[in-house]
Amino acid sequence: MTIDKMLLLPALLHVALIFLLVFLTGSGRVAAARRGEVRLGDVALDNSKWPENLRKRANNYQNQFELPVLFYMLIALLLSTRLADAVQVVLAWVFVLSRLVHSYIHTGRNLVIDRFYAFTASVITLLAMWIWFALRLFLQ
């Protein structure tokens, strides 16, 4: 397997997480509406009316389009500049695994301090990825 493909594996896992979240949120919302837990008119403009478990899923889904945007931008740059290497592959896995842990915490018991630690791990890892990219781009 090429280094490029190895770099794309964690990204594909993160994409799978995003689709899982959207399907779980959507099916949960349909089920909640059918059970009469919410009225569609009440949630049309106010997401706070959904049950807590569905709000957590929806919030986590939205969160996957914030910090990870920088991850995907970097993946594209690494591939286009041919600067993908084993260091970036390892860091990409750490980033995605920390996002998975963050999602597990966020959609589960949602302990803010644990979620913060997982989030911080992903931020530091992504920062390391960008620094390594910049060093290789300009010092190589």
Q: Is 49:43 a contact under the CB 8 Å cutoff?
A: yes
Its pTM stands at 0.94
Please provide the average confidence, as pLDDT, over all residues in the chain. 96
Phi-psi region of 46 (alpha: psi -120 to 50; beta: other; left: phi over 0): beta
Max distance between CA atoms of the chain, in angstroms, equals 61
Of 87, 70, 72, whose CA–CA distance to 135 is shortest? 87
**pLDDT at residue 17 in the model:** 98
Three-class SS state of 59: helix
pLDDT one-digit tens code per residue, 7-23:
999 999 999 999 999 99
pLDDT one-digit tens code per residue, 78-91:
999 999 999 999 99
Q: For residues 54 and 74, give the distance between their C-alpha atoms in angstroms, rounded to a whole number.
A: 31
DSSP state of 110: -
pLDDT one-digit tens code per residue, 22-59:
999 999 999 999 999 999 888 988 889 999 999 999 99
**pLDDT at residue 137 in the model:** 97
Q: What is the average pLDDT across 119-138?
A: 98
